[in-house]
Amino acid sequence: MNTILTVSMSVEKEASIYPISKRIAVLDILRGFALFGIFMVNAEIMNCVFMNQDTFSQQWTTPIDRLAVRVQQFFFYGKFFPIFSFLFGVGISIQFLSLKRKGISMTFFYRRMGALFLFGIGHILFLWSGDVIHLYALLGLCILFLIRWKPKNLLLLAGCIFLFPFYNTIFEWVLSTTGYQPESYLANYKPDDIVQVIREGSYRDGMGLRIQEYKSNVAVLFLSLMPIAFAMFILGLTIGKKGWLQDIDKWIQQIKKPVLWIAVLSNIYRVFFLFFLWETAIWKAPFWRDTFIYLMHICDTLMALFYVWLIVYLYQYRFWKKILSPLQYAGRMALTNYLLQSAIGLFIFSSIGLHWYQTLSPSQTIGLAIVVFMVQVLLSKLWLQFFKFGPLEWVWRCISYWKVLGIRKGD
């Protein structure tokens, strides 16, 4: 316990308390923005699982659907998971400062991550196999070992994790060493079987499919997504420790030129990758194809960080502040809305609801995601007029503090 308190004290020395109202507005707007982008991608996967996507996508040839696919590829794929991870790291740094100020035991943090892990497992079993919050919970505990690190060392570590080029090699080594065969878990499901289970099967059948989907994707989750998430966690933690949040307007202006140059250069490569590279002879060579994909992942993550910078930069101006502010309502209830999106997707696409699995075109899927998110923003605003927290945020806080807390405003 003394070690943990020393850790918290070292964090407090490096960053003063950020103005609460401003911090919450900016971070919650970013969380709302990330929720929107995540659902734009997830809705497409809910409409057609990875196993069926190649065949399913071939039927959509209209100009609007081709445009919808390009919009997803250029603006959404690979961009919003890093944003959510980055914000989680920022949140952890703020929580450590808060725990120290309030004199709360670090057991709070362990319960908080444990509860988040259970939320994630429940999400996989009952709603959707593509959960990431159980991964966040595990990485959140790993962050404990880095709290005492100096910011420059944290940045170096984040860069090494992010740029490390041999995750595919490690992935193949793990599979060969352990004998783990991800493809075996869906071997008994043909594409038509998946359509049948999701559209017409029982809820129990759907749960069985979700478990097998998760088991088939777990290696990719922990060897592909986890490094990016952990690097973004560490970057967010570093920003919190540096105290940049307490003078964010000045900091955003100072990094304007390098951020814009990085955005321009990374997008030049992304345009080349998406619109020209696939038709070249060099793309067919495995080594170069893997290299190009590796560079694309880097550029997508850089684009995600550009989105963060852009939202905060625009928020300084009255017009854009008015446009962006509604996002904070969804962001303040990020956990509730994240799981609610999966529940809505389950209802829309599966046998317990509308049976729409593999019936929506890419453009219709985008439209659906926009409408669902707009409804979430409105419902979140209405809820927060009467309550201090979202329903799952309240449950999470009660478990973290290990007592029943008031949820109504005025309690």
The model's pLDDT over 244-300, given as tens digits with 9 standing for 90+, comes to: 877 888 889 999 999 999 999 999 999 999 999 998 999 999 999 999 999 999 999
Q: Residue 303: name the closest of 37, 10, 90, 26 by CA.
A: 37
In whole angstroms, give the CA distance from residue 304 to residue 84: 10
The pLDDT tens digits for 87-135 are: 999 998 888 877 777 777 788 989 999 999 999 999 999 999 999 999 9
In which band, very low, low, confident or very high, does the pLDDT at 194 lie, cut at 50, 70 and 90?
Answer: very high
Q: What is the pLDDT of residues 325-376, one digit of tens each?
A: 999 999 999 999 999 999 999 999 999 999 999 999 999 999 999 999 999 9
pLDDT at 36: 98
pLDDT band at 24 (very low <50, low <70, confident <90, very high): low
Global confidence as pTM = 0.92
